[in-house]
Amino acid sequence: MKFRGRIRLTFYFLAFGGAALFTALLVREGIVQVGSAIATAGWAIAAIVAFHLCVPVFLDAVAWWVLFPKENRLPLRRIFWMRWIGESVSTLVPSAAVGGDIVRARLAAINGAPVPISAGTVLVDLTLGVFTQAAFTLLGVVLLVQSTGRQNFVGPTLIGTLIGVAAVGGFYFVQRRGMFRFLARMIAKLANSSEWQSLVQSGETLDQTIRTLYARRRAVIGCCVSTILSLILNSGEIWIALYALNLHATMVNAIILQSMALTIRSVAFPVPGGLGVQESGYVLVGNLLGIPGDTAFALSLIARVRELALGIPGLVCWQLIEGRRLLRTRAEPASS
């Protein structure tokens, strides 16, 4: 079986497994009870959609925006809608959560930012984002232990977090050592053609750009601060949902649920959309906090509704942008 065929088969297997887990949890917690909990939320769903767009997405846009050097910096309003479209692609398109980052780098280049700057800022933003999410995970673990006294899951969570940080630390190291020039040189040698030498130059330019971006300490700190604020304030969505469902709505419970759900979904990133995995995380952590299983499942579904409400328009905008560029490209030879 060809490599591409194996990848496709693995994708289908993971998608089927996630769907089966989702269905099993829904049946176990009760379809009627879960539906009733979602209906109880009512107005909160619209409030959560608005809150997510105005707070976390905006702060994530700021985190990316500050990484751009001033001479190449696009207006914040443009970075905002690029970030929104990128998140929409990452959330709804089965691309292992990286497709949206490729899209926003492309959108930045289309809107006038140099390609090395567009790609470099996204890579730096991704790397710093993983480090800050690890800190957010540790915050959630500490709060969960203080709230429940349960410590049996601390070890596995810390080990998983450390492994993730070590992996990203290695990625950071190879970025600083000239990863892209090395890869380009390998490709050029394998191709055995002088025409590929321009790829080596492009890789070297990207490596130098990334080093320059990391050297801008204030921008790096600003990106980290904005990202951690986004992660913490994003818990406000869960607080709104808890309040609407007449549960014990505290920011501590909201931060715990948010951090643990993000961590579990990040670990299970190969599963398209984290289907079933995200719901399992909500039910597991919700039970530890005394939240009934059907209500915890409803919390996850409310998050899914928010993803669809913001993600579908984002995908439509992306297709319109790409379609308009394609039509313009085809029209240029005809007019010349």
- 3-state secondary structure at position 210: helix
- Of 26, 44, 55, which Cα lies nearest the Cα of 279? 26
Residue 262 lies in a domain: yes
Q: Which contacts of 216-224 are long-range, i.e. CB under 8 A and separated by 24 or more positions? A: 216/67, 216/69, 219/66, 219/67, 220/67, 220/124, 220/128, 222/62, 222/63, 222/66, 223/63, 223/64, 223/66, 223/67, 223/124, 223/125, 223/128, 224/63, 224/128, 224/131, 224/132
Q: CB–CB of 271/277 below 8 Å?
A: yes
Confidence at residue 303, expressed as pLDDT on a 0 to 100 scale: 83
Residues contacting residue 16 through CB under 8 Å, at least 6 positions apart: none
Confidence at residue 53, expressed as pLDDT on a 0 to 100 scale: 92
Confidence at residue 40, expressed as pLDDT on a 0 to 100 scale: 65
CA 25, CA 17: separation in Å to the nearest integer? Answer: 12
Residue 104 lies in a domain: yes
Confidence at residue 180, expressed as pLDDT on a 0 to 100 scale: 57
Q: CB–CB of 48/306 below 8 Å?
A: yes
Residue 4 lies in a domain: no
Residue 290 lies in a domain: yes
Confidence at residue 6, expressed as pLDDT on a 0 to 100 scale: 55
Confidence at residue 306, expressed as pLDDT on a 0 to 100 scale: 86
Q: Is 311 exposed, middle or buried (0-12, 13-18, 19+ CB in 10 A)?
A: buried
Per the structure, how many domains does the chain have?
Answer: 1
Average pLDDT along the chain, 336 residues, taken 10 residues at a time = 52 52 53 58 82 94 96 94 92 68 90 89 89 86 78 63 66 63 50 48 76 91 95 91 82 88 72 68 81 81 84 88 79 60
Confidence at residue 199, expressed as pLDDT on a 0 to 100 scale: 46
Given the structure tokens 């492309």, which residue do they identify? 106
Domain residues for 225? 16-330
Rg of the chain, C-alpha, whole Å = 22
Instruction: Provide φ and ψ at 271, rounded to 5°.
Output: -75, 120
Tokens, residue 151: 């410590």
Residue 1 lies in a domain: no
| Helical ranges in 149-268 per DSSP H | 154-176, 179-191, 197-215, 217-233, 235-244, 251-267
Confidence at residue 74, expressed as pLDDT on a 0 to 100 scale: 94
> What's the farthest any 2 CA atoms get from each other in the chain?
73
Residue 3 lies in a domain: no
Residues contacting residue 202 through CB under 8 Å, at least 6 positions apart: 116, 180, 184
DSSP string for 14-58: HHHHHHHHHHHHHHHH-HHHHHHHHHHHTHHHHHHHHHHHHTHHH
Residue 145 lies in a domain: yes
Residue 154 lies in a domain: yes
Q: How wide is the angle at C-alpha 229 spanned by C-alphas 291 and 225, nearest 5°?
A: 145
